[in-house]
Amino acid sequence: MTVRLRFAPSPTGRLHVGNIITALRNWLFARREGGRMLLRIDDTDLARSTKAFEAGIEEDLRWLGLEWDERANQSARLASYEAAADTLKKAGLFYACYETETELDRKRTISQKLGRPPIYDRAALSYSKEDLARFKAEGRTPHWRYKLSGARRDWNDLVRGHQSIDTSSLSDPVLIRADGAFLYTLPSVVDDIEFNITHIVRGEDHVTNTGVQIEIFEALGAKAPEFGHFPLIVGAEGEGLSKRLGSLSVSELRAQGYEPMAINSLLAKLGTSDPVEARTSIDELAREFSYDKIGRAPARFSEEELKRVNAALLHDMPYEDVRSRLAERGADLGEGFWRAVRANLVLFPDVDEWARIISGPVEPVIADEGFARAAAGLVPSGPYGPETWKAFVDAVKDKTGAKGKALFMPLRQALTGLDHGPEMAPLFALIGPERARARLEGKAA
């Protein structure tokens, strides 16, 4: 049997970290097992779905390196859902309900006041001919519910172990709205059957839905796939991320300069027993992936940890991998420049500041004008090599008597305008004699 998984985003917004952790936990398992991956666009909500968001989803996934084997839009599959609905109606498992939302709210309120669970009372199963005539006269159109068996549904969850849902504790779910639009559950089951999905992996907020879906799979004559439900993401302090997910969209993280494999590396390990470490390929993450490693506690997302992983990737990144990106930013000052500054980068755009420090203009920081003038007179003419900085520093030391921090810090501040940064030997060679001399003389250069 070929393992087949799916990622099913709705094109009502851009992908965020909560979506991507779901995508990864499907993609990595499919890749590890030599399986196939379906990208299913859940666009049955025609009012909120847009082609722009759909294109954005594809762009974000491709940027992360998460390519799909097959693709489908639910909006093009309505005939399959209609056929499934007809099958359920003929089996007596689909029934029409004419209550308005106001009437349903009133029933729920009464149930709660009486201390009962707000479960739908199945009043629609006992409508009289007079009731149906009145609804028709009022111009009401029905919504359709699936009639649950009331039995207990069990499965062995890939993450949570044995799970059991008592369907008698649930309301019969609405599968088609009064306006004729299909809700999530029925199209999802039909697609999983027709695309031969073998594993459904998603957040634990879908656990209860699984009991319902298992019944619908069986009612449509299919065996339910295996299920896995993992804890949702929270912030570093345990706070919910729902209000922050917009700022944690993939497109925003990309705009800030994060590397795609930094995002993949963090989210693939988040909430697992593995340490969070930078990985350079999806294949490497797939080899290390297992649902057995996912814990039961909420996964804690930290932007600071993402920065740490991102920095680790940049610090080891070869020049050839970034050459074109540097050129696009006007910051390609050669391999020596990249090797000199990469260990000081957290995000790739940080390279712009170091390119400016090399090429200028830099406003020098001069604490002791006499010291700086003496150093300016000792700047060698060139050409510069690996030993030029040491020879220059030794000459300044002999001339001024300064040593240690009193020697190195004033030189760094004058030459870079900063009191921190990469090693000065390669920077000095890149700055060159003219700019070095001018900055030591207190000129912006």
Segment 148-164, tens digit of pLDDT: 999 999 999 999 999 99
Q: Mean pLDDT, the chain, as a whole number?
A: 95
Contact 249, 280 (CB under 8 A): no
Strand segments, DSSP code E, in 147-293 are: 152-157, 161-166, 174-176, 199-203, 226-230, 233-235
Average pLDDT (74-79) is 96
Contact 18, 204 (CB under 8 A): no
364: nearest Cα among 355, 354, 372: 372
Segment 218-265, tens digit of pLDDT: 999 999 999 999 998 888 777 776 545 556 899 999 999 999 999 999
Q: What is the model's pLDDT at position 42?
A: 96
Contact 438, 445 (CB under 8 A): yes
Contact 280, 261 (CB under 8 A): yes
Contact 144, 97 (CB under 8 A): yes
In single-letter form, the type of residue at position 276 comes to V
Rounded (10°) CA dihedral 253, 254, 256, 258: 80
Contact 314, 422 (CB under 8 A): no
Tokens of 203: 């957040």
Q: How far apart are CA 177 and CA 88, in angstroms?
A: 16
CATH architecture of 80-176: Alpha-Beta Complex (3.90)
- pLDDT band, very low/low/confident/very high, at 114 (cuts 50, 70, 90): confident
Contact 278, 313 (CB under 8 A): yes
Segment 242-254, tens digit of pLDDT: 545 556 899 999 9
Average pLDDT (410-435) is 96
**To the nearest whole percent, how much of the chain has pLDDT over 70?**
98
3-state secondary structure of 197: coil
